[in-house]
Amino acid sequence: MYFFGLLIFLSGLTLIFTENLIYAAFLLALCLLSIAGFYVIYNASFLAVIQILIYAAGILILIAFGIMLTKRSPEGKVIVGYHLLFFGSLVTLGMALLIYALVGSSTIGPHEIIHTTGQVREIGIRFLTQYILAFELIAFLLLVVLVGASYLGKKSQHA
């Protein structure tokens, strides 16, 4: 548990101060996958799978499209200004104190884990039976977006 916490902290801190977009995307992936590790430790397997599929995969694909479709320097670096560092640190400290206060006043202890082993199976069955059309249409839409983004990326490189 402490391993994942340290991994989240270090990858998030390094993510804030990196100047390379590719490194930032990989550090974000590491941070999001570490959060999924927390979910696995706390026996929330559905949340872990959703964290990996939606955040670690989906959001990072969108970030990769953004990197692909924007103009950048040949080194892949961006101009980073630290003018909002104080404000960001203040907001982060405030959020950390708020979370600490909410967790401290919680009545649920760490040993009161709700076991939900059948939920993942039930959601999977519904996706592949009742909601199969929507599931396949979303997959096709994502394929079209991927092809369109690669076409636009190739087109902008020749211009």
What DSSP assignment string belongs to 66-130?
HHHHS---TT-B-----TTHHHHHHHHHHHHHHHHHHHHT----TT-PPP-HHHHHHHHHHHHTT
For 111-145, write each residue's pLDDT tens digit: 555 555 667 778 778 878 888 888 888 888 878 88
pLDDT for 158 equals: 56
In this structure, whether the domain defined by 1-106 belongs to CATH 1.20.120.1200 is answered with yes
Average pLDDT over the chain, rounded to an integer? 79
Token pair of 13 as six digits: 């801190």
Domain ranges of the chain: 1-106, 114-159
pTM attached to this predicted model: 0.59
pLDDT for 125 equals: 85
For 72-111, write each residue's pLDDT tens digit: 666 656 666 677 778 888 988 998 898 888 777 766 555 5
